[in-house]
Amino acid sequence: MARNLLVMLGLLAGCYGFNFVMAEFIEVVYVDYINLCGLAIILAVGLNVINGLAGQFSLGHAGFMSVGAFAGAYASIMLTYGVIESGPLSFVSMGSFLLCLALSGLSAAAVGALVGAPTLRLKGDYLAIATLGFAEITRIVLTAQDAIGGPTGLKRIPKMPLLPGSEKWDGGTSTFWIYAFVCLVILLSVNLQRSTFGRALICVRENELAAETMGVRASRMKIMAFVYGAFFAGIAGCLYAHYQHSVRPDDFTTVRSIEVVVMLVLGGLGSLTGAVVGAVIVTLLPQFLRPLEESLGLSGLSMVVYAALLLLMMLFRPQGIFGQRELSLKLLRRLVPGGGKESRP
Amino acid sequence: MNRLWMATSAMALVLLGVHLTACKQSSDPAASEDIPIGVYLSLSGANADFGVTTKNGIDLAVEEINAAGGIGGKKIRVIAKDTRSKPEEAQTVAKQLATQDKVVAAIGSVESGQSIKAAPVFQEAGIPMVSPSSTNPDVTKQGDRIFRVCYLDDFQGQACADFAFKDMKATKAGLLYAADDDYSKGLAGFFREHFKKLGGEIVAEATFQGDVSEFKDQVSAVAAKEPALVFVPVYYSKIGLIAREFRKQGFKGPLLGGDGWESEQLVQLAGETLEGCYFGYHYDPEDADPKVQGYIKGYREKFKKEPNSLSALGYDAVYAIKQAIELGGGPGRDQITEGLRKIRGFKGVTGTFDIDENRNARKPITMLKIGGTDLKKVKVIQPGDIK
Interface of B with A in 320-379 (CB under 8 A): none
Mean pLDDT computed over B47-58: 91
Distance from A94 to chain B by nearest Cα, in Å? Answer: 21
The helix or strand, by DSSP H or E, that contains position B244, with its residue range, turns out to be: helix B236-248
Q: Is B226 in the A-facing interface, judged by CB distances under 8 Å?
A: no
Instruction: For residue range B172-224, list pLDDT tens digits in order.
Output: 999 999 987 878 888 999 999 999 999 999 999 999 987 788 999 999 999 99
Q: Is B311 in the A-facing interface, judged by CB distances under 8 Å?
A: no
Mean pLDDT computed over A265-282: 92
Q: Is B207 in the A-facing interface, judged by CB distances under 8 Å?
A: no
Distance from B272 to chain A by nearest Cα, in Å? Answer: 33
Q: What is the pLDDT of residue B81?
A: 93
B235 plus B177 within the same structural domain: yes
The Cα–Cα gap between A321 and A314 comes to 10
Q: Is B15 in the A-facing interface, judged by CB distances under 8 Å?
A: yes
Task: Report the mean per-residue pLDDT for chain B.
Answer: 87
Mean pLDDT computed over B78-97: 92
The Cα–Cα gap between A300 and B45 comes to 7
Contacts B138 to A, Cβ<8 Å: 86, 152, 155
Testing the interface with B: which of A29, A83, A239, A258 to mutate, by most B Cβ within 10 A? A29
B106 plus B225 within the same structural domain: no
The strand order across the sheet containing B35-41 reads B76-82, B35-41, B105-107, B129-131, B146-148
CB-count exposure of residue B158 (10 Å: 0-12, 13-18, 19+): buried
- Rounded to 10 deg, the angle between the A272-296 and B2-26 helix axes is 50
At residue A180, φ and ψ (nearest 5 deg) are -60, -40
Instruction: For residue range B217-268, list pLDDT tens digits in order.
Output: 999 999 999 999 999 999 888 888 899 999 999 998 999 999 888 877 776 7
Would the pLDDT of B27 be above 50? no
Question: Residues B160, B139: contact at Cβ < 8 Å?
Answer: no
Q: Could you tell me the residue ranges of all domains in chain A?
A: 2-252
Asked if residue B302 is part of any domain, the answer here is: yes
Amino acid identity, residue B14? Answer: V
Mean pLDDT computed over B301-320: 93
Q: Is A143 in the B-facing interface, judged by CB distances under 8 Å?
A: yes
Domain count, chain B: 2
Cβ–Cβ gap B22/A286 under 8 Å:
no
In this complex, which of A250, A291, A316 lies closest to B113 when CB atoms are compared?
A250
Asked if residue B7 is part of any domain, the answer here is: no
Would the pLDDT of B18 be above 80? no
The pLDDT-based confidence of A343 (bands split at 50, 70, 90) is very low
Instruction: For residue range B122-138, list pLDDT tens digits in order.
Output: 999 999 999 999 988 88
Q: What is the pLDDT of residue A303?
A: 82
- What residues contact residue B383 under an 8 Å CB cut-off, 6+ apart? B151, B155, B362, B363, B364
The Cα–Cα gap between B156 and B152 comes to 6
The Cα–Cα gap between A39 and B68 comes to 48
Q: Is A310 in the B-facing interface, judged by CB distances under 8 Å?
A: no
* b/e map B106-139, b = 16+ CB within 10 Å: bbbbbbbbbbbbbbbbbbbbebbbbbbbbbbbbb
Mean pLDDT computed over B2-26: 52
Q: Is B91 in the A-facing interface, judged by CB distances under 8 Å?
A: yes
CB-count exposure of residue A179 (10 Å: 0-12, 13-18, 19+): buried
Rg, chain B, Cα only: 23
The pLDDT-based confidence of B20 (bands split at 50, 70, 90) is very low
Q: What is the pLDDT of residue A116?
A: 84
* b/e map A281-301, b = 16+ CB within 10 Å: bbbbbbbbbbbbbbeeeebeb
Asked if residue B270 is part of any domain, the answer here is: yes
The strand order across the sheet containing B229-231 reads B201-208, B172-178, B229-231, B255-257, B278-281, B365-371, B374-381
Domain range spanning residue B272? 154-281+366-385
Q: What is the pLDDT of residue A336?
A: 61
Instruction: For residue range A197-221, list pLDDT tens digits in order.
Output: 999 999 999 998 999 999 999 888 9
Distance from A15 to chain B by nearest Cα, in Å? Answer: 22
Cβ–Cβ gap A144/B179 under 8 Å:
yes
Regarding beta strands B172-178 and B255-257, do their DSSP bridges make them parallel or antiparallel, or are they unpaired?
unpaired
In this complex, which of A28, A299, A302 lies closest to B95 when CB atoms are compared?
A28
Would the pLDDT of B62 be above 70? yes
Q: What is the pLDDT of residue B292?
A: 92
Asked if residue B122 is part of any domain, the answer here is: yes
Cβ–Cβ gap B180/A143 under 8 Å:
yes
Cβ–Cβ gap A152/B138 under 8 Å:
yes
User: What ipTM is given for this predicted complex?
Assistant: 0.86
Q: What is the pLDDT of residue B6?
A: 58
Instruction: Provide the H-helix boundaries in B96-235.
Output: 112-125, 153-162, 182-198, 216-223
- Scanning every residue of chain B, which has its alpha carbon at the shortest distance from the alpha carbon of A298? B44
B105 plus B63 within the same structural domain: yes
Mean pLDDT computed over B279-303: 90
In this complex, which of B43, B48, B182 lies closest to A150 when CB atoms are compared?
B182
Cβ–Cβ gap A88/B123 under 8 Å:
yes
B207 to B55, B164, B219: CA distances (angstroms):
34, 20, 10
B123 plus B161 within the same structural domain: no
Q: What is the pLDDT of residue B275?
A: 87
Q: Is A137 in the B-facing interface, judged by CB distances under 8 Å?
A: no
Q: What is the pLDDT of residue A112?
A: 93
Helix (H, G, I), strand (E, B) or coil at B129: strand
Instruction: For residue range A68-89, list pLDDT tens digits in order.
Output: 999 999 999 999 998 888 778 8
Give me the CATH number covering residue B163: 3.40.50.2300
Size of interface A-B (CB pairs under 8 A): 100
Distance from A184 to chain B by nearest Cα, in Å? Answer: 25
Percent of chain A with pLDDT over 70: 94
Q: Is B43 in the A-facing interface, judged by CB distances under 8 Å?
A: yes
Instruction: For residue range A218-230, list pLDDT tens digits in order.
Output: 888 999 999 999 9
Choice among A39-43, A114-118, A140-144, B307-311 with the minimum mean pLDDT: A114-118
